């Protein structure tokens, strides 16, 4: 029987399932994704609670933090599902006695390097002189876009067209060539904006995020993460991918909660 | 949102939202939950570009966002229309100078309206403007949102690079720029990266199969009589009526209001009346739109003829199977191979901008191979081209629900190969400015036009072209016999409609 996401009643379908996919045979990679999935559920649920209720002091103080953790954990999970080596390395490294809370780990998961490319992009994607170290495997790198995201996005919108289901209008309005450039731009600004809400680095009150700005960036972070997570299940080599029908169900169920 | 256009019954003018008197705005506009999401994006921190065709409701959304931010304890907002002729006719430093002056005045006016004690330091260049804005944010202890309306129109690309440069420069942690643009704006300049420097929000309303209540809400708010079940025949409900008209004009609110206004005198509405309305819209609204807009397209003015021819071929393509008996209901959407769209890009942008069709999907796989965007075609033109032009209940249901299979125009079809494409000049002044003021007379293209008497009086005074009328001051116009403040306002309104989209 095909695995189906849980219904939105009871425990309800959560973002962690959409991002981390179907449970797999027990192994280090799968348990790492289980861990990330639980974390994504915890913080995205809190984000949704804040958005659904009157925006109280807790929402103002911790809304950005919850959205930011959701964003980071979700992208770590997607990196891991595309590139299990990176995820396994991080899981193993954190289990070592040398892993020290008091010191920054140079090889730790980083926004610049794991999500966005660290160095200046190559002028051409394919050239015999390119060193392998210059070929970025960051989630939004140009090579990742061409090899993983764009074909997956096209497969996803074709599948939606075959099913003729509602609820995907936002995705259908995006050009395949624009999907990752747009997501990259949105995520960069969201990450930066949410960071300011995490660190509370406000020295003048005019730059503090008010309710409308917080609501917007929190909603947008859930929207962008869920869209990327949905498309990730159309990457044929992605680990723990949902089957296509289940991905559609999972996406629609999550949209119903936001 | 209920309407982007307001009909002033006293004068017969059809006004755009930005020309709606402030005290009447709330009366004529209401906003849906989808609109509320866009309005929130326009009110929140961060740069946003709101994109939509002519009459799609961009201005109303910007104005409503401004209205909602008024009196906020955390935000100071400025709504500013860039409908200012010198901006259209300048570039580079000259454009920046006009822009800074206009924005400075708009901010000072807003502060005055808000009865604020804070004064804005007038700025003449972008560095000074940036500094003045930051000082203002500090003095008010608020973040600032600037809503630029009519920032970018098709055929007016010359000053666009300067505008987007300013948009990017001014955006900061306390200053959020928002601007309305048209589909197909591509010249953002070398410094502006549309994906990194803004969030683009598209206004898409052409699909009525999903959003069940949107156009009904518009009618309930704007034309309550048309929401009354008792005036409709058994086979037509107010909901179906609202959806059909909404779909017929591919979600264009200006077109929708015009279509609704045609039922003012109908005591009873049944399918034949709706049939007549759609056919009249094809004749009186869509085709005259080409004549009206052509001289406003600047360098792209010569493309209006091929645009008409290409649209006719698209219509012919969806009507042919009905004419030959292969289908009973004409296809209302078409997938066009992306290479064709790319080859005739500006033509497609013009047609989309005018509302002849609306892009429904960005990329769909075609049966014959390849991919292309899906366009929803206005039903007025489709109905006009099918045999007998008779609207049936089957057509209504299929079109509302989006049932007909998509039509396709393949790369190998050569369908548009016979359409001659003119060579565009490097630079082209707006044709409308050089036109005689006679074109402003009341007509199908200008239903809000001037009387013959007023045109004659203007001519006798020496004002013969639209440029001359635009340059004339109120004091000069007041010297003309039988021309007072009311007539001047009407001239200014007509001029706005003629020059701007």
A142-168 tens-digit pLDDT: 999 999 999 999 999 999 999 988 889
Higher pLDDT residue, B335 or A130?
B335
Higher pLDDT residue, B305 or B160?
B305
Q: What is the mean pLDDT of residues B264-283?
A: 94
A80-117 tens-digit pLDDT: 999 999 999 988 888 887 777 777 778 888 999 999 99
Strands B407-409, B333-336: pairing kind: parallel
Helix (H, G, I), strand (E, B) or coil at B24: helix
Strands B48-51, B13-16: pairing kind: unpaired
With CA atoms as reference, the chain A residue closest to B199 would be A186
Residue B98 has pLDDT above 80, yes or no: yes
CA angle B188, A184, A237 (to 5 degrees): 135
Residue B371 has pLDDT above 90, yes or no: yes
Residue B129 has pLDDT above 80, yes or no: yes
Please state, in angstroms and rounded to a whole number, the distance separating the CA atoms of residues B105 and B94.
17
Please state, in angstroms and rounded to a whole number, the distance separating the CA atoms of residues B96 and B124.
8
- Which has the minimum average pLDDT: A196-200, B82-86, B103-107, B239-243? A196-200
Please state, in angstroms and rounded to a whole number, the distance separating the CA atoms of residues A217 and A198.
13
**Greatest mean pLDDT among A197-206, B13-22, B161-170:** B161-170
Which residues between 76 and 95 in chain A have a beta carbon less than 8 angstroms from any beta carbon of chain B?
Answer: none
Nearest Cα to Cα of residue A64 among A217, A225, A222, A254: A217
Is A172 in contact with B362 (Cβ distance < 8 A)? yes
- Quote the pLDDT of residue B11: 37
Is B44 in contact with A207 (Cβ distance < 8 A)? no
- Chain A nearest-CA distance from B44, in A, is 4
SS3 sequence, A111-145? HHHHHECCCCCCCCCCCCCCCHHHCCCCCCCHHHH
Residue B2 has pLDDT above 60, yes or no: no
Is B193 in contact with A185 (Cβ distance < 8 A)? yes
β-bridge mates for residue B6, sequence order: B15
With CA atoms as reference, the chain B residue closest to A155 would be B365
Decide if B364 touches A, using CB distance below 8 A: yes
- Chain B nearest-CA distance from A24, in A, is 33
Whole-number average pLDDT of chain A: 89
pLDDT grade, residue B501 (50/70/90)?
Answer: low
CB within 8 A of A219, min separation 6: which ones? A51, A258
- Quote the pLDDT of residue A204: 65
Which residues between 452 and 471 in chain B have a beta carbon less than 8 angstroms from any beta carbon of chain A?
Answer: none
Residue B398 has pLDDT above 90, yes or no: yes
Query: How many alpha carbons lie under 13 Å from residue B466 in its C-beta half-sphere?
Result: 25
CB atoms under 10 Å from CB of B92, counted, come to 12
Alpha-carbon separation of residue A32 from A76, A92, A97, B429 (angstroms): 10, 10, 18, 63
Please state, in angstroms and rounded to a whole number, the distance separating the CA atoms of residues B297 and B286.
16
Whole-number average pLDDT of chain B: 88
C-alpha dihedral (B158, B160, B165, B166), degrees to nearest 10: 110
Gyration radius of chain B's alpha carbons? 23
- The owner of tokens 């809190």 is A46
Is A173 in contact with B202 (Cβ distance < 8 A)? yes
pLDDT grade, residue A9 (50/70/90)?
Answer: very low
CA A213 centroid distance within chain:
21
Token reading at B98:
């006009």
- Quote the pLDDT of residue A240: 96
- The owner of tokens 């061409």 is A146
Decide if A213 touches B, using CB distance below 8 A: yes
Please state, in angstroms and rounded to a whole number, the distance separating the CA atoms of residues B98 and B100.
6
Residue B10 has pLDDT above 50, yes or no: no
Which DSSP string do the residues of chain A spell out, in sequence order?
----PPPTTTT---HHHHHH-S--SSSHHHHHHHHHHHHHHHHHHHHHHHHHS---HHHHHHHHHHHHHHHHHHHHHHHHHH-HHHHHHHHHHHHSTT--TTS--TTS--IIIIIB-SSPPPSSS--TT--GGGS---TT-HHHIIIIIHHHHHHHHHHHHHHT-SS-HHHHTS-GGGHHHHHHHHHHHHHHHHHHHHHT--SSGGGS--HHHHHHHHHHHHHHHHHHHHHHTT-TT-TTPPPHHHHHHHHHHHHHH-
With CA atoms as reference, the chain B residue closest to A220 would be B41
Q: What is the mean pLDDT of residues A229-249?
A: 96
Of A178, A185, A206, Cβ closest to residue B138: A206
Gyration radius of chain A's alpha carbons? 18
Please state, in angstroms and rounded to a whole number, the distance separating the CA atoms of residues B95 and B81.
15
Is the separation of the CB atoms in B79 and B180 below 8 Å?
A: no
pLDDT grade, residue B229 (50/70/90)?
Answer: very high
Q: What is the mean pLDDT of residues B140-145?
A: 94
Of B44, B74, B202, Cβ closest to residue A216: B44
Residue B3 has pLDDT above 70, yes or no: no
User: What is the percentage of chain B residues whose pLDDT exceeds 90?
Assistant: 56
Helix (H, G, I), strand (E, B) or coil at B164: helix
Decide if B45 touches A, using CB distance below 8 A: yes
Please state, in angstroms and rounded to a whole number, the distance separating the CA atoms of residues A91 and A238.
18
- Quote the pLDDT of residue B429: 65
Which DSSP string do the residues of B377-415 spell out, in sequence order?
EPHHHHHHHSGGG---HHHHHHHHHT-SPPEEE-GGG-T
Q: What is the mean pLDDT of residues A9-24?
A: 79
- Chain B nearest-CA distance from A209, in A, is 8
> Where is B311: in which H helix or E strand?
helix B304-323
Alpha-carbon separation of residue A118 from A184, A188, B247, B434 (angstroms): 13, 13, 47, 54
Higher pLDDT residue, B303 or B426?
B303
- Quote the pLDDT of residue A143: 96
- Quote the pLDDT of residue B239: 94
Decide if B359 touches A, using CB distance below 8 A: yes
**Which chain A residues touch B363 with a CB distance below 8 Å?**
154, 157, 175-176
- Quote the pLDDT of residue A8: 43
Please state, in angstroms and rounded to a whole number, the distance separating the CA atoms of residues B144 and B78.
8
Is A173 in contact with B361 (Cβ distance < 8 A)? yes
> Where is B320: in which H helix or E strand?
helix B304-323
CA angle B263, B264, B270 (to 5 degrees): 35
Higher pLDDT residue, B433 or B72?
B72
pLDDT grade, residue B211 (50/70/90)?
Answer: low
Q: What is the mean pLDDT of residues A214-233?
A: 97
- Quote the pLDDT of residue B7: 40
CA angle A144, A147, A149 (to 5 degrees): 65
CA B350 centroid distance within chain:
11
β-bridge mates for residue B148, sequence order: B80, B179
Which of B46, B211, B369 is the best residue to mutate to test the A interface, defined by the most A CB atoms within 10 Å of its own CB?
Answer: B46
Higher pLDDT residue, B294 or B109?
B109
Token reading at B438:
């006679």
- The owner of tokens 């032009």 is B389
Is A206 in contact with B141 (Cβ distance < 8 A)? yes
With CA atoms as reference, the chain B residue closest to A180 would be B195
Please state, in angstroms and rounded to a whole number, the distance separating the CA atoms of residues B494 and A108.
64
Work out the burial of residue B235: count CB atoms within 10 Å of its CB; fewer than 13 is exposed, 13-18 middle, 19 or more buried.
exposed
Token reading at B454:
């007023």
Which of A153, A170, A194, A212 is the best residue to mutate to test the B interface, defined by the most B CB atoms within 10 Å of its own CB?
Answer: A212
Please state, in angstroms and rounded to a whole number, the distance separating the CA atoms of residues B291 and B31.
32
Token reading at B486:
């009311």
Please state, in angstroms and rounded to a whole number, the distance separating the CA atoms of residues A105 and A68.
20
Helix (H, G, I), strand (E, B) or coil at B269: strand
pLDDT grade, residue B33 (50/70/90)?
Answer: confident
Higher pLDDT residue, B469 or A205?
B469
Of B43, B46, B365, Cβ closest to residue A189: B46
B283-312 tens-digit pLDDT: 999 998 898 888 888 888 899 999 999 999
Q: What is the mean pLDDT of residues B351-363?
A: 93
CB atoms under 10 Å from CB of B380, counted, come to 25
Alpha-carbon separation of residue A144 from A78, A153, A245, B64, B469 (angstroms): 12, 12, 24, 41, 57
- Quote the pLDDT of residue A206: 63
Is the separation of the CB atoms in B484 and B3 below 8 Å?
A: no
- Quote the pLDDT of residue B54: 83
Which of A151, A185, A206, A220 is the best residue to mutate to test the B interface, defined by the most B CB atoms within 10 Å of its own CB?
Answer: A206
Of A158, A173, A207, Cβ closest to residue B362: A173
């Amino acid at each position: 029987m095909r695995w189906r996401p849980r219904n939105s009643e009871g425990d309800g379908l959560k973002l962690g399932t959409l991002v981390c996919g179907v449970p797999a045979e027990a192994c280090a990679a799968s348990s790492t994704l289980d861990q990330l999935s639980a974390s994504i559920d915890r913080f995205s649920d809190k984000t949704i609670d804040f958005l659904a209720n009157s925006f109280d002091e807790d929402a103002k103080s911790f809304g950005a933090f919850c959205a930011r953790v959701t964003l980071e954990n979700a992208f770590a999970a997607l990196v891991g599902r595309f590139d299990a080596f990176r995820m396994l390395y991080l899981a193993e490294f954190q289990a070592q006695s040398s892993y020290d809370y008091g010191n920054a780990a140079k090889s730790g998961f980083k926004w610049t390097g794991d999500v966005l490319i660290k160095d200046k992009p190559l002028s051409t994607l394919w050239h015999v002189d390119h060193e392998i170290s210059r070929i970025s495997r960051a989630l939004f790198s140009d090579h990742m876009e061409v090899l993983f995201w764009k074909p997956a996005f096209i497969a996803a919108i074709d599948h939606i067209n075959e099913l003729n289901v509602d609820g995907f209008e936002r995705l259908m309005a995006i050009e395949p060539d624009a999907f990752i450039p747009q997501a990259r731009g949105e995520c960069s600004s969201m990450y930066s904006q949410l960071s300011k809400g995490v660190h509370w680095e406000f020295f003048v009150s005019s730059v503090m995020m008010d309710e409308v700005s917080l609501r917007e960036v929190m909603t947008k972070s859930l929207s962008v993460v869920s869209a990327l997570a949905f498309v990730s299940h159309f990457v044929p080599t992605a680990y723990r991918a949902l089957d296509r029908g289940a991905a559609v169900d999972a996406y629609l169920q999550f949209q119903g909660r936001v | 949102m209920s309407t982007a256009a307001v009909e002033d019954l006293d004068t017969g003018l059809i006004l755009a939202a930005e020309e709606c008197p402030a005290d009447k705005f709330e009366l004529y506009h209401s906003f849906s939950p989808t609109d509320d999401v866009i309005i929130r994006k326009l009110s929140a921190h961060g740069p946003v570009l709101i994109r939509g065709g002519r009459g799609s409701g961009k201005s109303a959304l910007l104005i409503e966002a401004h209205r909602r931010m008024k009196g906020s304890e955390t935000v100071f907002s400025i709504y500013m229309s860039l409908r200012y002729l010198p901006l259209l006719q300048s570039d580079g430093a000259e454009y920046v100078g006009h822009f800074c002056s206009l924005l400075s005045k708009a901010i000072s006016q807003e502060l005055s309206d808000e009865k604020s004690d804070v004064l804005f330091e007038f700025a003449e260049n972008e560095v000074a403007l940036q500094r003045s804005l930051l000082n203002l944010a500090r003095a008010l202890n608020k973040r600032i949102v600037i809503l630029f309306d009519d920032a970018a129109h098709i055929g007016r690309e010359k000053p666009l690079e300067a505008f987007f440069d300013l948009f990017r420069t001014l955006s900061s942690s306390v200053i959020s720029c928002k601007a309305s643009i048209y589909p197909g704006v591509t010249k953002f300049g070398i410094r502006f990266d549309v994906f990194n420097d803004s969030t683009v929000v598209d206004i898409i309303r052409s699909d009525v199969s999903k959003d069940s209540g949107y156009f009904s809400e518009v009618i309930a708010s704007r034309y309550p009589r048309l929401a009354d079940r008792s005036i409709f025949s058994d086979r037509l409900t107010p909901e179906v009526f609202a959806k059909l008209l909404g779909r017929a004009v591919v979600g264009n609110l200006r077109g929708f209001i015009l279509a609704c206004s045609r039922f003012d005198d109908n005591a009873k509405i049944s399918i034949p009346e709706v049939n007549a309305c759609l056919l009249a819209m094809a004749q009186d609204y869509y085709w005259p739109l080409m004549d009206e807009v052509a001289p406003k397209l600047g360098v792209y003015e010569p493309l209006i003829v091929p645009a008409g021819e290409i649209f006719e071929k698209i219509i012919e393509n969806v009507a042919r199977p009905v004419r030959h008996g292969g289908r009973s209901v004409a296809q209302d959407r078409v997938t066009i191979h992306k290479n064709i769209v790319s080859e005739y890009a500006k033509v497609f942008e013009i047609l989309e901008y005018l509302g002849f069709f609306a892009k429904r999907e960005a990329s769909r796989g075609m049966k014959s191979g390849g991919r292309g965007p899906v366009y929803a075609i206005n039903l007025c033109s489709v109905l006009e081209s099918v045999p007998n032009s008779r609207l049936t209940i089957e057509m209504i249901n299929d079109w509302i629900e989006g049932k007909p299979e998509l039509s396709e125009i393949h790369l190998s079809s050569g369908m548009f190969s016979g359409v001659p494409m003119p060579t565009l000049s490097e630079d082209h002044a707006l044709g409308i400015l050089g036109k005689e003021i006679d074109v402003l007379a009341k007509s199908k293209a200008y239903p809000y036009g001037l009387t013959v008497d007023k045109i004659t009086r203007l001519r006798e005074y020496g004002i013969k072209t639209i440029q001359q009328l635009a340059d004339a001051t109120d004091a000069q116009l007041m010297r003309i016999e039988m021309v007072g403040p009311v007539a001047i306002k009407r001239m200014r309104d007509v001029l706005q409609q003629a020059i701007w989209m």
